[in-house]
Amino acid sequence: MNKYIIASMVAILSVASILVIGGATSVVAEEADDKMMKDDSMMKDDSMMKDDSMMMMHDYTFADITDSVVITDSSEFENIQLSVGAYVPTDGSGGAFGYGVITGKGLEAIIVTTTHAGVLDSEAQKDANDASFHNHYVALENLEDDDKCPELQVRDISFDEPGDVHVSDKSIVIEDAPYDFRAVHSLSGEHIKFSADDRPANAVSFTINPVDANGNTSVTDIQAVCINDVKSVDIRVVVPASYWEGN
């Protein structure tokens, strides 16, 4: 009888040991999982803090295009939407600058919207001091033998306004700008024509500097219009006419 009792006690103790060890193992595993989750959470928080820190370190301005979407149809830019890194001044306090979209036609036909005071170069302006945003078509060139402008300068610019523009906060929207556009040259008065296409590739920001024959800034004796500080980004989204026609 004693042998059977002893054997039974040994069996019971063995089961109890297994349960205790199993429970302890479970507790250890849970503690390990909890630690791993905390470590993972801390790593994610640290990563997010680093990303936020990087964003704060970059001093975004209204010259930095942060997003760009272009909606096209068969004959015009139906809608160009640009977002920038800071509020866009619309009262002339930001100087002479603008935004544009370059298509497959390159520098030959760029749809732009600009703001500047001191020069009447658009039918959309009330007078020379009107710094409200207005659209142009422009053709640009880089004349290596002309040192008035360090890089690009305006070859052709439309006095007539293609489409409409709306600027508020950090957003620029150009609407209903045709690809093919006939106009009068803002400076020479000649009749000119622009032909863009439905393949927008880059969105750009830039500054504008009208200069005299010696390359000095002038709004009374303009011999060239220099385009400086160009920043270019790839268009993020292009919604083509075929999408609208098929839906």
User: HEC profile for 84-114?
Assistant: ECCCCCCCCCCCCEEEEEECCCHHHCEEEEE
pTM of the model: 0.77
226 is written with which tokens?
């220099």
* Residue among 61, 239, 222, 95 nearest 153 (CA): 222
| Model confidence at 135: pLDDT above 90 | yes
| Model confidence at 53: pLDDT above 60 | no
* Higher pLDDT pick, 74 / 19: 74
Which residue type is seen at 89?
A: P
* Higher pLDDT pick, 97 / 59: 97
Q: pLDDT digit string (tens) for 11-40?
A: 444 444 444 445 544 444 455 455 555 555
Q: Is the dihedral of CA 94, 97, 151, 188 positive or negative?
A: negative
* Higher pLDDT pick, 135 / 7: 135
* Whether 97 contacts 63, CB under 8 Å: yes
Confidence bin at 113 (pLDDT 50/70/90): very high
Give pLDDT, residue 44: 47
The CB-side HSE value for 224 (13 A sphere, CA atoms) comes to: 20
